[in-house]
Amino acid sequence: MAYTIIDTCIGCTACAKKCPVECIAGTRKELHVIDPTLCVDCGLCGYVCPVNAILDDTGEIATRLKPKEVPKAKVDPDLCTGCVFCVDVCPYNALSMVDYDSAPGVNMVAVVDQDKCMGCDHLCTSVCIKDAIELHFVTEETAGQEQPVGA
């Protein structure tokens, strides 16, 4: 089920500007809509909606987060096999492959550019066949002590 926008939408366009797949349409100061055939359920629209007018893929009001509270992807290089699925699916080009020699038989692993990572809910983690990627919440209080999402 795709994310949906409810009638409390004020048409601020914040969601449309952040959407990585451009599935949100609407006129400024009017109700916006999400095309469910294009929505990838990343959750970014809910992170930025100032009036909590977006329902997540379970029908609950999506969680608004401050930019520094958005979960960021983290790759465990010892689990990564260099398959590039995560790199291909990332709409913000926040993942790339680098040389990695400490794992036998593995030459490349994914790395995350934290400045580009928007915390798209489940995109990179859902395609990782080795569970090498986790989303971590990083707030001012937990800086340096990353907590996996759901922990």
Q: 47, 63 in Cβ contact below 8 A?
A: yes
Same fold, 1-64 and 68-148: yes
The second-level CATH assignment, the architecture, of 1-64 is: 2-Layer Sandwich (3.30)
| pLDDT over 70 at 85, yes or no | yes
pLDDT of residue 103: 58
Give Cα 22 distance to the centre of its chain.
Answer: 14
Is the pTM above the cut of 0.75?
no
Closest to 73 measured CA to CA, from 9, 148, 150: 148
**CATH architecture of residue range(s) 68-148:** 2-Layer Sandwich (3.30)
Q: How far is CA 123 from CA 10, 72, 107, 133, in A?
A: 28, 12, 24, 10
pLDDT band, residue 37 (cuts 50/70/90):
very high
List, for residues 98-115, the tens digit of each pLDDT value.
987 765 555 889 999 988
Could you state, in order of their start, the residue ranges of all structural domains in the chain? 1-64, 68-148
